[in-house]
Amino acid sequence: MDLETILKLRGEPLAGIYLSLTQRCPLHCAHCSTESTLTGEQIASDELVAFVRSMPYHGTPSLLYFTGGEALMRPKLIETLTGEAHARSISTVLLTGGFFLRHSDRAPDRIWSVLASQDHVSLSVDRFHEDEVPRARVLALLTRLAASGVDTSVQLTGTNLGDPYIETAIQDIRSRTEGQTPILVSLLAPVGRAKQLVSAEPAVDQRVYGEVIAQPCAAANWPVYTWDGRVTACCNQEVVGRRAPTHLSLSETPSCTWRETYVAHSRSDVVKAIRLVGPRQLAALSGGEVRVATANKDYCSTCLRLSDARWEAAVTSAARRATREPLASRMEDLLARRYAIHPPGMQPGYDSLTRVAGGLHS
């Protein structure tokens, strides 16, 4: 499964789910959004296995995305979940920081076996990881995986779009992999340890002819099964790593099933409104206190305020108006067309990098 296909699936509600297998990681990255350590939390293996086994053999989801912390701290669990997923025709994607390359040029046999079983493997490359994991070793591993038939990519993170590190790294990645490794460029967000490195986006006037601009949120398309057994409607680490606001909580118990997750996500008017018009417009539509309370908040902070008990009824009513038919269906169609051309997650100016080598091994 190539990177561009994964990104397009991110635009489809419930087409995939993130499985945060653990909050543990042996690395000490200064920008870590999950604030992972070797003693972080993690859900019991049998709970995660039961959740995946509750998924149907056909239909949604199409993709399981293994992440952490460092997902490869639990190789046996990944092997089991991958087997269960593939038996159901569900593809698997693994994101890793490559901790096992700190002191060796090659992955240990157990790790290699897990990597080789995936439909896609993405490795993190940024100046913070490079303090512990040499970039050359990461790229050599990706080249070997690609040669074995596994689709691969680099998740390249910079501080901002003007960060010279991004351009330097892109040139090196393309040179060392002969242009055959797709690259997804992302930017640091003020979450976790990265709060010390970057600040939140400034509150800006998002109005057109007196109305707030619709800014759909693709982050609410896929649920997240968190490392402590909750299921959230958003992958923002401020939500995943803490108790989720009511409107973004799909389950508080690790024993939930995929069907329960699917129903909770698809039937939530507030989640649907956030997907279609975004939290800022939803806050504006809610009027009165909500609009005043969120006027100077950034995009995600606005969303986090929507569960305040003082205006829960107003937000719910606004969400129902924003998602009424046939308007909602037309908006879903427009978003699908938009994401087909420009999948969520791509940074402006770097779109073409995600298509390099796309599908070579699919």
Q: Output 198-205 pairs: Cβ under 8 A, ≥24 positions apart.
A: 198/159, 198/160, 200/298, 200/301, 201/298, 201/299, 202/298, 203/295, 203/296, 203/297, 203/298
Q: Is the dihedral of CA 275, 276, 280, 284 positive or negative?
A: negative
317 Cβ contact partners less than 8 Å away, ≥ 6 residues apart: 286
Check which CATH number belongs to the domain holding 85 and give it: 3.20.20.70
Using the CB atoms, write b or e for 86-104: b if 16+ within 10 Å: eebebbbbbbbbbbbbeee
Question: 168 and 59 in one domain?
Answer: yes
Q: Does 336 reside within a domain?
A: no
Question: 182 and 130 in one domain?
Answer: yes
Question: 105 and 228 in one domain?
Answer: no
Q: Does 288 reside within a domain?
A: yes
> From residue 163, how far is each of 31, 118, 257 by CA, in Å?
15, 32, 42
Q: Give dist(CA 42, CA 270) in Å, integer.
A: 29
Q: Does 361 reside within a domain?
A: no
Question: 126 and 17 in one domain?
Answer: yes
For the chain, which ranges sit under pLDDT 50? 203-210, 357-362
Q: Which neighbouring-strand residues pair with 183?
A: 154
Question: 274 and 246 in one domain?
Answer: yes
Question: 171 and 306 in one domain?
Answer: no
Question: 292 and 148 in one domain?
Answer: no
Q: Does 117 reside within a domain?
A: yes
Question: 182 and 229 in one domain?
Answer: no
Question: 249 and 193 in one domain?
Answer: no
* pLDDT at res. 84: 97
Residue by residue, DSSP assigns 54-121 as: TS-SSSS--EEEEESS-GGG-HHHHHHHHHHHHHTT-EEEEEE--GGGSS-SS--HHHHHHHHTSSEE
pLDDT, tens digit (0-9, with 9 covering 90-100), for 300-330: 989 999 999 999 999 999 999 999 988 889 8
* pLDDT at res. 57: 82
* pLDDT at res. 212: 60
Single-letter amino acid, residue 287:
G
Question: 166 and 27 in one domain?
Answer: yes
* pLDDT at res. 211: 57
Q: Does 306 reside within a domain?
A: yes
147 Cβ contact partners less than 8 Å away, ≥ 6 residues apart: none
Q: Which of 166, 199, 232 is the last residue of a domain?
A: 199
Strands 183-187 and 151-158: parallel
pLDDT, tens digit (0-9, with 9 covering 90-100), for 201-218: 654 444 443 456 788 999
Q: Which of 143, 172, 199 is the last residue of a domain?
A: 199
Q: Is the dihedral of CA 225, 231, 234, 239 positive or negative?
A: negative
Q: Does 70 reside within a domain?
A: yes
Q: Does 340 reside within a domain?
A: no
Total count of domains within the chain: 2
Question: 224 and 187 in one domain?
Answer: no
Q: Which neighbouring-strand residues pair with 122?
A: 95, 153
The whole domain housing 229 covers 218-323
* pLDDT at res. 360: 34
Q: Does 347 reside within a domain?
A: no
Q: Which of 199, 230, 250 is the last residue of a domain?
A: 199
Q: Give dist(CA 195, CA 45) in Å, integer.
A: 31
Question: 284 and 187 in one domain?
Answer: no
The CB density around residue 208, as the number of other CB atoms within 10 Å, is: 8
pLDDT, tens digit (0-9, with 9 covering 90-100), for 256-287: 999 999 999 999 999 999 999 999 999 999 98
Residue by residue, DSSP assigns 134-195 as: -HHHHHHHHHHHHHTT-EEEEEEEESSTT-HHHHHHHHHHHHHTTT-S-EEEEE--S-GGGG
